[in-house]
Amino acid sequence: ELKVEQNPLFLSMQEGKNYTIYCNYSTTSDRLYWYRQDPGKSLESLFVLLSNGAVKQEGRLMASLDTKARLSTLHITAAVHDLSATYFCAVDLNYGGSQGNLIFGKGTKLSVKP
């Protein structure tokens, strides 16, 4: 059974600081996704990582994927209050074929304080 573990589950940051969220998964996959969810809202796609060594950046967020270590990271640079949300990583169980089953981590609830 594929397990996706995120840590930390809760993160309180000061504005301007840097931090990394980790996503470990338990079986081979080369498709990993990061989503953002604001309270009571839907899931917003942030990054799609489709190969080992993939690195993508958007604003203050940078995501990377190491398929050998089965690890993805979401790095936050100089956090601002607007980044406060819950961040989910999700691994595609059915890589190599039709997309199907995304297994989500439990999410990291990020709170950025002034």
Partner 1 sequence: EPEVTQTPSHQVTQMGQEVILRCVPISNHLYFYWYRQILGQKVEFLVSFYNNEISEKSEIFDDQFSVERPDGSNFTLKIRSTKLEDSAMYFCASSGQADAEAFFGQGTRLTVV
Interacting residues with partner 1 (CB under 8 A): 31, 33, 35, 41-45, 48, 50, 88, 90, 92, 94-95, 97-107
Closest by Cα among 107, 114, 3 to 46: 107
Cβ closest to partner 1, residue 4 vs residue 79: 4
* Bridge partner residues of 65 (DSSP): 72
The alpha carbon of 22 is separated from its chain's Cα centroid by a whole number of angstroms, namely: 7
Please state the closest distance from residue 25 (CB atom) to partner 1, in A. 13
Residue 40: phi and psi, rounded to 5, are 75, 10
Please state the closest distance from residue 96 (CB atom) to partner 1, in A. 9
Please state the closest distance from residue 42 (CB atom) to partner 1, in A. 5
